[in-house]
Structure 1
Amino acid sequence: DSKGVLHSQIKEFCCDMSPAFISGIEEKFPNATITFDKFHVMKMVNEALDQVRKQEQATQPELKNSRYAWLKNPENLTEKQGSKLAKLKDLDLATGRAYRMKLSLQKMWTKHPILSELYFDEWHSWAIRSRLEPMIKVAKTLKKHKDGILRWFVTKMTNGLLEGINSLVQATKRKARGYRTADNFIAMAYATVNKLDLIGIS
């Protein structure tokens, strides 16, 4: 039937590592291949890094109020955050080791596709040996999804556009504090996403 033909024509998906997404795609689109969103991969690593920081902060008060300095990319740090991070990196901190692992994995996306698997395996081995439980846990999760993560080097697919659209829709929803009908909300969502100029429209 036409539905079956449509399903057979869809060859690629990009999503996060939600088991529900994965099982749904594998069940309904058995011929499709999954690329795991690289921004979601880095989000998971950032969350593991932050868990290391929280655990270490109990014995290292210097880490107080440093969360965003560790989570931001170096080029996005404010002057104050950069100065604080530089001082913290001089200390022999577990958080600093987790931070270097995060930056190292981030560099993987700039490597040649031929080197990507070797690079990933080396990073995974480093994380597993780190003795940092949150980093070990996330490394094991990423290893299970290795093929889909490295699939990015073939498809270059991400969820960036969809995430941007979703944030605009959510902003539209919050801005009005409710709409009288679902149709009104849908119409305004379309207008916001398309950035229409509604001045003069009654």
Structure 2
Amino acid sequence: MLQYNLKSVRAYLLKEEFQAFRDYISPHWAGKYLDRWCTRVMRSKIEPMKKVAKTVRRHRPLILNWFRAKKAFSSGIVEGLNTKIKLTTRKPYGFRTYKCAEIALYHALGKLPEPEVTHRFY
């Protein structure tokens, strides 16, 4: 497959090359690698890959923050929490007051302290 200069093969190779980006420790060198990779992608004339490279360039400072934090934090936890909060607040029951919305969030997110004013069912 490598002997053919197909766009799909080149796109696959560029994708695989990007995997080395995660191995960097220094934000400086990771940024240099990212810039070189984006330049190669932009010269590849593969439109979907160029779209990815433009997105990566636009979010470059945020991506490099992961290296500055020494890869200790993942935004996956925060994104999951935000999704759960949005789903809870979109439920069709409607919350008339902020306090009711707060109580619903306590119930949905679990393992959080419940306020004293919740209903008691006997």
- Provide the TM-score with structure 1 as the length reference: 0.42
* Equivalent position SS for 1:151: helix
In structure 2, the partner of 1:142 is 56
In structure 2, the partner of 1:151 is 65
- Structure 1 residues 172 and 147, CA, compared in 2 at 3 Å: closer, same or farther? closer
Q: Distance between the aligned counterparts of 1:195 and 1:103, measured in 2? A: 40
In structure 1, the partner of 2:93 is 178
C-alpha distance after superposition, 1:109-144 (max 9, x if no partner)? 232226313321331122112111232233234335
Q: Distance between the aligned counterparts of 2:15 and 2:120, measured in 1? A: 49
User: What residue identity is the alignment partner of 2:50?
Assistant: I
* Equivalent position SS for 1:131: coil
C-alpha distance after superposition, 1:78-118 (max 9, x if no partner)? xxxxxxxxxxxxx9753453344334334412322263133
Q: Distance between the aligned counterparts of 1:158 and 1:103, measured in 2? A: 22
In structure 2, the partner of 1:164 is 80
Q: Distance between the aligned counterparts of 1:109 and 1:153, measured in 2? A: 9
Q: Distance between the aligned counterparts of 1:124 and 1:190, measured in 2? A: 44
Q: CA RMSD in A?
A: 3.4
User: What residue identity is the alignment partner of 1:111?
Assistant: Y
Kept in 1, the 8 Å contact 2:106–2:113? The answer is: no
User: What residue identity is the alignment partner of 2:43?
Assistant: R
Please show how residues 84-95 of structure 1 align to structure 2 within 5 Å.
Answer: 94-95=7-8
Q: Distance between the aligned counterparts of 2:49 and 2:36, measured in 1? A: 14
Q: Distance between the aligned counterparts of 1:94 and 1:181, measured in 2? A: 56
C-alpha distance after superposition, 1:26-47 (max 9, x if no partner)? xxxxxxxxxxxxxxxxxxxxxx
Q: How many residues align?
A: 110
Q: Distance between the aligned counterparts of 1:186 and 1:129, measured in 2? A: 51
Q: Which has the larger radius of gyration?
A: 2
Picking from 27, 30, 37, the partner of 1:123 is 37
- Structure 1 residues 141 and 164, CA, compared in 2 at 3 Å: closer, same or farther? closer
In structure 1, the partner of 2:25 is 112
* Equivalent position SS for 2:23: coil
- Provide the TM-score with structure 2 as the length reference: 0.61
122-131 or 132-141, larger mean C-alpha shift = 132-141
Q: Distance between the aligned counterparts of 1:171 and 1:151, measured in 2? A: 28
* Equivalent position SS for 2:45: coil
